[in-house]
């Protein structure tokens, strides 16, 4: 180990040791939640995909009111345990469902007309609170924004509503959507349905939690460092990080600044793989044609690659044996079922994933305008947050910000000029992957070094987002796929990535993996 690497390792251990001490001293105990799960599903309507629900509603086999009420009942049963839905709109949703049922009764054009115009007619939808939903809060988890109400819908929400979906509530995030857990002092902390003592991830953790707990069938999230994929992995559901620039980020909070617009992605989060593509197509609006989602994909003609790990990044945890083993099982099934060869590849540049992400997130946009500093957004509308002072306030219980957000503001103070070496490593990795994947290649890559951690423990392993974050700066589409549960009943999974604009390839692989490994499993099914 080089001297500089040894020094980094020592400093990292000291910092994480300090965080652990602070956690033990000041964080309330959650030991009573260990191993506790949400109750099993009792209503069979909750075990039907959104696509199938829409068909049943159009055919009058079930009413939209019955479906929406079933999900309201489930949310009322599990949300006190999860704190995933932070503001509901149950009364409005039921009224909208009644209008759907009336529309179906009066429709004279037939089922096909409704399917074409309103493919999600009558289906309930949960929405990450960072998206504007007219009449609902859009706070970014900040206490000072508690009274901010959206006056319009963000375009993806508007298009989903226009397709017939019915929002039933908005879901929790960390402050400014910039942490791997969904915790803030406005709404509190969200729990994982498979073990209430574990994190559901962030920043789309509320979405992951409520969908994984069968309190919603489809939801939408955003992703700039793994904010769709980590919650989907931790909560055992499917999610898709779209190729950047396809699904607009308009009317979301916080707004994207600097290079963020190039690396943020928006996409669907679903319990059933067959819902990913139709929801994505609707969310993309006029840009949907860019992805050629209607083009057929023959899995047997694709080229497959597996990337086992990041080649041993110094400050990132090694991938656990159970995740290494499950990825190997995916490789084995692909080869046996499809008759393909899955080639193992390694990229030493992945050791620098964290540095790549930090570097590119802090670059100015193409016009030279820098990203707005985190501490300034955190302190709006007043003065920027002073991180050291805020930490002292937190120690005596007077801060309105979480320890994680304060830590991020402190970390921002250490950001230095871009390293030519890191810029070179990223460009080298980008070129190698683009040449490897082309238009017919897909790859497997761990979503995280371990399954869903105990709540607050990401504070001690803050760089483990490297496995998802690097994909953002590479601009590649990825579908997160569940692969069953481990011996403790906690979800396993893998990222399936493809070349830019080749989203349909990973979405097709997701359909295959759902059949091969069973897809979403109920929390009580362990």
Residues annotated as catalytic are 128, 203, 227
CA dihedral over 357, 363, 369, 370, signed as positive or negative: positive
Contacts of 315 (CB under 8 A, 6+ apart): 8, 9, 12, 354, 463
What does the alpha-carbon distance between residue 526 and residue 520 come to, in Å, rounded to a whole number? 12
What does the alpha-carbon distance between residue 389 and residue 204 come to, in Å, rounded to a whole number? 29
Contact 458, 241 (CB under 8 A): no
What does the alpha-carbon distance between residue 269 and residue 135 come to, in Å, rounded to a whole number? 23
Q: What is the DSSP string of 16-74?
A: HHHHHHHHHHHSPP-GGGTT--PPPP--GGGGS-HHHHHHHHHTTSS-HHHHHHHHHHH
Angle value at C-alpha 402, between 396 and 404, nearest 5 degrees: 120
Q: Which residue shows structure tokens 């300090």?
A: 18
What does the alpha-carbon distance between residue 17 and residue 11 come to, in Å, rounded to a whole number? 10
Contact 243, 283 (CB under 8 A): no
Contacts of 68 (CB under 8 A, 6+ apart): 93, 94, 97, 122, 124, 166, 168
What does the alpha-carbon distance between residue 43 and residue 455 come to, in Å, rounded to a whole number? 30
Q: What tokens appear for 227 in the block?
A: 């904010």
Contacts of 389 (CB under 8 A, 6+ apart): none
């Amino acid at each position: 180990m080089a001297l500089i690497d040894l020094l980094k390792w020592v400093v990292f251990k000291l910092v994480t040791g300090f965080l652990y001490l602070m956690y033990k001293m000041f964080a309330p105990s959650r030991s009573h939640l260990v191993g506790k799960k949400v109750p099993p599903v009792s209503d069979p309507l909750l075990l039907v995909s959104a696509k199938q629900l829409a068909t049943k509603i159009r055919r009058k086999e079930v009413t939209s009111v019955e479906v929406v009420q079933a999900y309201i009942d489930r949310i009322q049963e599990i949300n006190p345990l999860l704190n995933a839905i932070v503001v509901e709109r149950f009364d409005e949703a039921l009224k909208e469902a009644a209008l759907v049922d009336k529309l179906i009764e009066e429709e004279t054009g037939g089922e096909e007309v409704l399917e074409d115009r309103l493919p999600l007619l009558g289906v309930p939808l949960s929405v990450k609170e960072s998206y504007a939903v007219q009449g609902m809060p859009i706070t970014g988890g900040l206490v000072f924004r508690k009274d901010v109400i959206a006056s319009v819908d963000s375009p993806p929400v508007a298009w989903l509503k226009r397709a017939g979906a019915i929002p039933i509530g908005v879901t929790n995030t960390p402050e400014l959507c910039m942490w791997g857990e969904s915790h803030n002092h406005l709404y509190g902390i969200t729990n994982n349905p498979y073990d209430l003592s574990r994190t559901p991830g962030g920043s789309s953790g509320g979405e992951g939690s409520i969908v994984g707990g069968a309190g919603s069938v489809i939801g939408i999230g955003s992703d700039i460092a793994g904010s769709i994929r980590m919650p989907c992995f931790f909560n055992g559901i499917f999610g898709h990080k779209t190729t950047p620039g396809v699904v607009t980020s308009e009317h979301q909070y916080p707004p994207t600044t600097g290079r963020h617009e190039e690396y943020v992605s928006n996409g669907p989060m679903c319990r059933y793989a067959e819902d990913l593509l139709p929801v994505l197509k609707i969310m993309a609006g006029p840009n949907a044609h860019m992805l050629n989602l209607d083009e057929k994909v023959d899995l047997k003609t694709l080229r497959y690659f597996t990337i086992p790990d990041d080649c041993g990044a110094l400050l990132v945890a090694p991938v656990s044996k159970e995740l290494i083993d499950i990825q190997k099982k995916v490789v084995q099934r692909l080869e046996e079922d499809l008759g393909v060869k899955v080639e193992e590849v390694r990229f030493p540049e992945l050791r620098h994933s964290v540095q790549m992400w930090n570097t590119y997130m802090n670059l100015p946009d193409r016009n030279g305008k820098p990203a707005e500093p985190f501490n300034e957004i955190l302190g709006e509308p007043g003065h920027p947050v002073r991180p050291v002072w805020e930490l002292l306030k937190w120690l005596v219980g007077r801060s309105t910000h979480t320890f994680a957000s304060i830590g991020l503001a402190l970390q921002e103070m250490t950001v230095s000029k871009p390293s030519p070496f890191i810029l070179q490593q990223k460009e080298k990795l980008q070129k190698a992957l683009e040449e490897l994947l082309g238009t017919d290649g897909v790859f497997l890559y761990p979503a995280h070094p371990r399954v869903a951690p105990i709540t607050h423990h990401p504070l001690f392993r803050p760089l483990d987002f490297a496995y998802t974050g690097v994909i953002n700066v590479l601009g590649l589409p990825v579908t997160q796929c569940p692969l069953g549960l481990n011996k403790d009943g906690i979800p396993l999974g893998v990222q399936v990535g493809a070349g830019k604009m080749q989203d349909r390839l990973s979405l097709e692989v997701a359909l295959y993996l759902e059949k091969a490994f069973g897809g979403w499993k109920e929390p009580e099914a362990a």
